Amino acid sequence: MRRLALLSGMALLALILTGSLLPGSQGSFTAHMLAHMGIVAIAAPLIAMGLSTLRIHRSAAALLFAPATPLIASFVEFVVVWTWHAPILRALARTDVAALLLEQATFLAAGLFLWLSCIGQYGGRDQTALSGAFALLLTSVHMTLMGVLLALSPRPLYGRGSVVCFGNPLSAEQDQVLGGVIMLAVGAVVYLTGGVTLLARLLAPGHQRKAEG
């Protein structure tokens, strides 16, 4: 199952990076958001699931799966996501391929850092799992906030001309609203689901009996 998750995550990542989605994201904010959510909310957790049982050096494991690390990772993702969605940097990524690739690379690094630190099972520490659940819930909150701000903004933040998204012409306002809805429908929901799932596992009667034993 974990190998399938790893292969699926890598295949999706390759599809985004080499297919039409990432190059198309330079012109359309909707396509950009699809690529962004595909990387951080789908590919990253799948890859993290596949890597979570691999043996790594103890010093790296102690750092990656320390109780405070998921909260640090959540803050790192918050900074990365909000920084790259500043209008000036979004405009740069739209016009410069190197900036676009750097943007997506930092999205992937931040996403893997967060998901690995949250769902990694090194040592089976309840403190780490609890902070991981809290970190995913916090990330869901800031994803929700950004999605709402993008969808309800009174004016377009990323240009005023019309764009073409997968063959469909959109105004700048429609493009931004649709991008915000995608962040809400994918990003916020996936991180919320991850956080709730971790909490449910911690509160499961079988897990509590094992911890007490």
CA distances from 42 to 47, 97, 149, 159, 165 (A): 9, 23, 22, 28, 21
In the block, residue with structure tokens 């959540």: 74
pLDDT value of position 114:
93
Q: Which helix (H) or strand (E) holds 3?
A: helix 2-18
How far, in Å, CA of 8 to CA of 140, rounded? 23
Closest CA to 40 of 142, 103, 108, 140: 108
**pLDDT per residue rounded down to tens, the chain (213 residues):** 788 999 999 999 988 887 655 655 557 889 889 989 999 999 999 998 888 766 555 455 556 656 678 999 999 999 999 999 999 999 898 888 899 889 989 999 999 999 988 886 544 456 777 888 999 999 999 999 999 999 999 899 988 888 877 778 889 999 999 999 999 999 999 999 999 998 888 887 655 544 444
Q: Which helix (H) or strand (E) holds 137?
A: helix 126-152
pLDDT value of position 122:
46
pLDDT value of position 54:
60
HSE-up (13 A, CA, CB side) for residue 45? 17
Q: Answer yes or no: are the C-beta atoms of 211 and 129 closer than 8 Å.
A: no
**Phi and psi at residue 28, in whole multiples of 5°?**
-110, 130
Closest CA to 161 of 183, 178, 142, 176: 176
pLDDT value of position 151:
94
* Straight-line distance from the first to the last Cα atom of the chain, in angstroms, rounded to the nearest whole number: 28
Enumerate the β-bridge partners of residue 165. 168
Can you give the pTM of this predicted structure? 0.85
How far, in Å, CA of 145 to CA of 19, rounded? 29
Q: Where are the domains of the chain?
A: 2-52+60-212
